[in-house]
Amino acid sequence: MVQYELLKNNNDMAKETILKFDHGITYTHITDKFDGPNDVYGQKISYPLTANLNVTHDCNLECDYCIRQGARLQSPTSERMVTFLGNLPVGRPFRLTTTGGEPFVRKDIYEVIDFASRQPWAIGIISNGTIPVKFEKIPENTRFEFSIDAIDPSTYHEQRGGSEKQYQQIIKNIKEAKSKGFIVRTNVMLSRNNMDPAYIRRLINGFADMNIDQVRLQKFVIPRGAQIDDDLLKKYGLTDEEYSSISEVARNVGRERNIGVLVPQQNKQLSLGSVRIYPDGSVAVQSEDKPDQEIIGNIGSESLESCWSRVGENVSEMHLRYLIKPKRII
């Protein structure tokens, strides 16, 4: 039996604080609490407040734009996952988003989530939604991000190669998550399959009908180390003008239907303001002024705090700036 019981801790006030960050809706009263770029709620920030953890690169889908095209790493064993978790900011405010690959292909994913839920952490799960989720094992306040680029099975198939059954399973998971009170965001990879204004309107309206809290439109970015052929680039490599006109259509529907629409970020491989932890434990950051991500350490052998001690001031300053941007969800 793997020691997921390893470290128990709780700190309700810290948890409440980070959940407010996570839900992100009312930021102003939180930003008031910052005394400066290195201080939040009077605590020195010596580690990143938010991280995306790739719990595996395995997946039951084969999307042609997948990040795994760059480097498909072996999944960490449960023992190694325990080491990773113990090297995160245990007992301190933090937001952990588990992603993949597909997190629910891991047999121990509910144990990973259970460990996280006993920390003062906000928890997010990014999933392709095609595997039935045992919602009764997921702590309340967890934020789900389901990756679904379409509002009909045939466009879904075009885009992700998934079957109608898989599409219906995502819809089922989304509806169940909403009915149980979870926060749900949908992530939509934009391409020539789904960029038509009429389709975008239908897509956002369809999500609004399901009471989804937020939609994030995503830009295709060439995965680290991947060789991308011209056909793929033609399909996903939309121009800036195309992105901004799609975003405008989506935002307008979002305003009408009261659903948040986040538009594509800058052309970066990683989310600015967060760190990415790969299945081999390596920790990557990206700064605004550099095209490539930078590996700052490995949580297989040291704490995230120790990794973070190597980032330059520009990265730590950017991290907080992105976190506290009004109305932004971290």
Binding site for ligand SF4 (CB under 6 A): 59, 61-63, 66, 68, 100-102, 128, 147, 160
Residue number, 11 or 282, with CB nearest to ligand SF4: 282
What lies within 8 Å, CB to CB, of 1 at 6+ separation is: none
| Shortest Å distance, C-beta 72 to ligand SF4 | 10
50 phi, psi to nearest 5 deg = -145, 140
Question: Distance (Å, rounded) from C-alpha 277 to C-alpha 82?
Answer: 14
Residue number, 65 or 84, with CB nearest to ligand SF4: 65
Instruction: Report how far apart, in Å, the C-alpha atoms of 90 and of each of 14, 40, 47, 87, 224 are.
Output: 12, 17, 11, 7, 30
Question: Distance (Å, rounded) from C-alpha 286 to C-alpha 152?
Answer: 35
Residue number, 160 or 276, with CB nearest to ligand SF4: 160
CB atoms within 10 A of CB 233: 11
| Shortest Å distance, C-beta 36 to ligand SF4 | 38
> Among 47, 45, 46, 22, which Cα is nearest to 35's?
45
What lies within 8 Å, CB to CB, of 260 at 6+ separation is: 213, 214, 215, 254, 329
> Among 38, 43, 37, 40, which Cα is nearest to 20's?
40
> Among 147, 135, 145, 137, which Cα is nearest to 115's?
137
Residue number, 102 or 145, with CB nearest to ligand SF4: 102
Residue number, 129 or 297, with CB nearest to ligand SF4: 129
| Shortest Å distance, C-beta 180 to ligand SF4 | 23
| Shortest Å distance, C-beta 216 to ligand SF4 | 14
Residues 174 and 127: beta-carbon distance below 8 Å: no
Residue number, 109 or 315, with CB nearest to ligand SF4: 109
Q: Residue 53 forms beta bridges with which residues?
A: 98, 277
Q: Give per-residue burial for 46-71: e unless 16+ CB within 10 Å, then b.
A: ebbbbbbbbbbbbbeeebebbbbbee
| Shortest Å distance, C-beta 330 to ligand SF4 | 21
> Among 121, 51, 63, which Cα is nearest to 285's?
51
Residue number, 62 or 256, with CB nearest to ligand SF4: 62
What lies within 8 Å, CB to CB, of 230 at 6+ separation is: none
Question: Distance (Å, rounded) from C-alpha 213 to C-alpha 198?
Answer: 21
Residue number, 21 or 167, with CB nearest to ligand SF4: 167
| Shortest Å distance, C-beta 213 to ligand SF4 | 21
| Shortest Å distance, C-beta 229 to ligand SF4 | 17
| Shortest Å distance, C-beta 89 to ligand SF4 | 26
| Shortest Å distance, C-beta 160 to ligand SF4 | 6
Question: Distance (Å, rounded) from C-alpha 330 to C-alpha 322?
Answer: 7
Residue number, 49 or 170, with CB nearest to ligand SF4: 170
